[in-house]
Structure 1
Amino acid sequence: MNRLLEIRTYRLKPGTLEAFDKAMQERAVPMLRSKGMDVVTYGKSDHEEATYHLVRAYDSREALEAEQAAFYGSSEWRDGPRSALVDRIETYLNTLLWVSQEAADSMRTLNDRHTEDK
């Protein structure tokens, strides 16, 4: 089975990386996972201090759009971690690409700092 990866990269405002990472780890990613989203990996960039990534996998483009519309339209998100994250983002870029399930699992394993709860 193939998976549609959404690779979201963030350029953060200066001095906000640690607070952004904490909000992702403690609030946003657990909420995403509780809603059934497949968070493959997320975290600080290894090469640049003000960048961050979030990679999610979906069954299709339609699934991506439906899951994200439900999540980002929810009061739980809007009244929850939204401002702790959005207020710290300077810019972001999304890239979509198809990969095999094995490739998604490999990405998950190779970048396991923030993958499955251990």
Structure 2
Amino acid sequence: MFYEIRRYQAQPGRREEWVRYMEQVVVPFQASLGMDVTGSFVDEQDEDGYVWMRRFEDETQREALYAAVYDHDRWKNEIGPAVYGLLIPEKTVVTRVVPTPASPLQ
């Protein structure tokens, strides 16, 4: 099992709009297809920074969920374009992490 920590940079001054879109559209859409979103955060030190986490059982599940979400017509035609309009895509950082044996996030 592993987590994916995704750090985004919202377009300047648009983080509140981004958080609303994530919470009202992106997360419910992805969850409806089986994605396990485990956390959503605003960066206290960067007014346009946003971080969220997703959990995967293994690489096979991650690949299947990526396909379900990112190959979906709704993502391609509606959600994806909105996401790319609210974020600065080239500033996205994705980190995969595995919990340590004593981590509560097992």
Task: Write the letter of the residue equivalent to 1:25.
Answer: E
Task: Write the letter of the residue equivalent to 1:84.
Answer: A
Change (3 A) 1:26 1:11: same
User: Who is 1:104 aligned against?
Assistant: 105
- Whether the 8 Å contact between 1:17 and 1:50 is mirrored in structure 2 is yes
Task: Write the letter of the residue equivalent to 1:82.
Answer: G
- Whether the 8 Å contact between 1:58 and 1:64 is mirrored in structure 2 is yes
| Structure 2 SS opposite 1:103 | coil
- Whether the 8 Å contact between 2:33 and 2:68 is mirrored in structure 1 is no
How many residue pairs were aligned?
103
- Whether the 8 Å contact between 2:9 and 2:48 is mirrored in structure 1 is yes
In the TM superposition, residue 9 of structure 1 has moved relative to its aligned partner by 0.3
| Structure 1 SS opposite 2:104 | helix
**CA distance in structure 2 between the partners assigned to 1:45 and 1:35 by the alignment:** 27
RMSD: 1.8
| Structure 2 SS opposite 1:76 | helix
User: Who is 2:28 aligned against?
Assistant: 30
Instruction: List, as ranges, runs of 4+ consecutive aligned residues in structure 1 with deviation greater than 6 Å.
Output: none
In the TM superposition, residue 75 of structure 1 has moved relative to its aligned partner by 0.4
- Whether the 8 Å contact between 1:5 and 1:56 is mirrored in structure 2 is yes
| Structure 1 SS opposite 2:34 | coil
Change (3 A) 1:76 1:58: same
In the TM superposition, residue 100 of structure 1 has moved relative to its aligned partner by 6.1
State TM-score, norm by structure 1. Answer: 0.78
User: Who is 2:11 aligned against?
Assistant: 13
User: Who is 1:89 aligned against?
Assistant: 87
**CA distance in structure 2 between the partners assigned to 1:61 and 1:45 by the alignment:** 28
Higher strand share: 1
State TM-score, norm by structure 2. Answer: 0.85
Unaligned runs of 5+ in 2: none
- Whether the 8 Å contact between 2:26 and 2:79 is mirrored in structure 1 is yes
In the TM superposition, residue 53 of structure 1 has moved relative to its aligned partner by 1.0
**CA distance in structure 2 between the partners assigned to 1:50 and 1:62 by the alignment:** 33
